[in-house]
Structure 1
């Protein structure tokens, strides 16, 4: 039985960049190898708010056939009715609804799903972030952070992006239509949520 966790990364990448981003955190773009993996992803995706984004999965068209990116044959597929349509060579899973697969262009920027435990952030890395839920304008948030000797955070890494996304989701801090700016500094990071 497979017990590998999945990680939905919300930064938008091309298919090749999604593969590289997964590798950079010690894992790989997810291969949906059977119905059990498909069901696990459906459960995960149904709990996330992906706002219509359909994340990349490791499905790639080579020589007229869909395989994994490294050429391994697919052992399972879950294409939506009428898919693949021939719109592109890369596969994605619908982030909402039926969670069926679709094809699309590989240069389209999408979220993506990595398979397996990523090289996690240390507790010290996580402790550098402070989330405040006060409703502030962007300029007010900048001033509030500066008054604490910090700046807004810049997310340059999918691990940080995923950590912050999960943190907000798990703590009920994802408003219906959030505007989130995250900027980086080495110490005393702040996260601003509000309307610009």
Structure 2
């Protein structure tokens, strides 16, 4: 009986392990990938959608732990696009994957809507800033341009 229970636990643990596509990094039940491309926010959304078959989006962030994990990707760079924006209604932010906005980590004084900034980027310290969606980042300093997220399989 004990052997059967241990075998069931081992087998279920073996087959329930989450995996990510090649080049993606697993955190909790999601996979993340940083793309080193200097693109506009809209191009970053398309880049995520075209990157794998598992319907990825620009990263949505739902906890301090997830934010800290993603900060490890961007800490060597100035900023990256994440999937938050207020393009539909100024001041009402939403994720590109339509998940709820239940966590934010705005930098001091942000969001400020400077120059009609509607798209959000994560800074190297893990805080967030609203930026111009049409701006290409990384033109003067090396920058990882956007981070995508998809469910692990």
TM-score tier by shorter-chain length is 0.5 to 0.7
State which of 33, 41, 47 in structure 2 corresponds to 1:15.
41
Higher strand share: 2
**SS at the partner of 1:55?**
strand
Shift of 1:73: 3.6
Show the counterpart of 2:96: 69
Show the counterpart of 2:84: 59
Shift of 1:42: 1.6
Shift of 1:117: 7.5
Contact 1:93–1:100 (CA under 8 A) maintained in structure 2: yes
Provide, for residues 71-99 of structure 1, a one-character-per-residue CA deviation record: whole Å limited to 9, x for no partner. 544111000010001120000000x2x22
Shift of 1:14: 0.7
Q: Distance in 1 between matches of 2:50 and 2:126?
A: 26
Whether 1:113 aligns to 2:147 is: yes
**SS at the partner of 1:42?**
helix
Whether 1:24 aligns to 2:50 is: yes
Structure 1: any 5+ residue segments left out of the alignment? 119-196
Q: Distance in 2 between matches of 1:40 and 1:19?
A: 21
Q: Distance in 2 between matches of 1:60 and 1:4?
A: 21
Q: Do the aligned partners of residues 116 and 73 (structure 1) sit closer, same or farther apart at CA in structure 2, a change above 3 Å counting?
A: closer
- RMSD of equivalent CA atoms: 2.1
Shift of 1:35: 1.4
Aligned length: 112
Of the structure 1 ranges 36-45 and 106-115, higher mean CA displacement relative to structure 2 is found in: 36-45
Q: Distance in 2 between matches of 1:104 and 1:25?
A: 24
Contact 1:8–1:113 (CA under 8 A) maintained in structure 2: yes
Structure 2: any 5+ residue segments left out of the alignment? 1-26, 138-144
Q: Do the aligned partners of residues 4 and 76 (structure 1) sit closer, same or farther apart at CA in structure 2, a change above 3 Å counting?
A: same
Contact 2:118–2:130 (CA under 8 A) maintained in structure 1: yes
Show the counterpart of 2:129: 102
